[in-house]
Amino acid sequence: MIGRLNHVAIAVPDLEAASAQYRDALGAKVGAPQDEPDHGVTVVFIELPNTKIELLYPLGEDSPIAGFLEKNPAGGIHHVCYEVEDIIAARDKLKEAGLRVLGNGEPKIGAHGKPVLFLHPKDMNGTLTELEQV
Amino acid sequence: MIGRLNHVAIAVPDLEAASAQYRDALGAKVGAPQDEPDHGVTVVFIELPNTKIELLYPLGEDSPIAGFLEKNPAGGIHHVCYEVEDIIAARDKLKEAGLRVLGNGEPKIGAHGKPVLFLHPKDMNGTLTELEQV
């Protein structure tokens, strides 16, 4: 069911410094910051040959990243995202297997304009897991 | 400099349950457990179309994963691994940029039989980062 690893999201305390580090020290291809007001984040994509790293920084009040950075002031890996072909079929299969879907259980439109869901980290080995329909 | 994301490593409290979940609920291609006594871990590889998830479970005494699971009893993302072509050149460039290399700074032979280094998570946005020469 799950397909490609779409991205690994890393919350960072300083988006400019993190972008510069990936670009200059690690020599990676780093995009421009994109504000995603609907998601309360500013994101920078690091394009690797086979997947992406998504740097996350809080945007506005009530950002879902703010609390994470309070607990992890140096930053940290926030979630992984797997691609699925049919997010409703995936959700129903995972719910049957006893996994909890966050929120009201309905897909939302994610930062890439595609339907996404998040699985409860406690049900996924402590790993916040996003599913994205591609 | 950095190339492909080689893997994302997730420490899990129950390797059999986690393997079964990725295989049966998530429908992924899951390998057999491999003991890596030199690294104090038993690993299971989840093969995704573009990269791997490496499930980690402690093996023997003094496993580097034991303390992590004590702090994170449900499990959690342990590290990410980027591929590099020349690990000595990569190390020297990163040290020049002020990043700390863990241990004595010399590459070790990693779980895949290739030279690896780990960068200090405090210097990498709270993310333990492995470099593997491929």
Q: DSSP labels for B35-88?
A: EEGGGTEEEEEEE-SS-EEEEEEE-STT-TTHHHHHH-TT-EEEEEEEEES-HH
CATH of the domain at B48: 3.10.180.10
Of B1, B18, B51, the CB nearest to A5: B51
- Write out chain A residues lying below 8 Å of B28, CB-based: 1-2
Count up the domains in chain A and report the number.
1
pLDDT (tens digit per residue) in A2-61: 999 999 999 999 999 999 999 999 999 999 999 999 889 999 999 999 999 999 999 998
Q: What percent of chain A has pLDDT over 70?
A: 100
Give the distance from residue B31's alpha carbon to the nearest chain A alpha carbon, in angstroms.
Answer: 15
Q: ipTM of this complex > 0.90?
A: yes
pLDDT (tens digit per residue) in B2-33: 999 999 999 999 999 999 999 999 999 999 99
Catalytic residues of B: 130
Instruction: With CB atoms and an 8 Å threshold, state whether A50 touches B13.
Output: no
Return the structure tokens found at B100.
Answer: 């700390």
Which residue segment(s) compose the domain that B77 sits in?
Answer: 5-133
With an 8 Å Cβ cutoff, is A32 touching chain B?
A: no
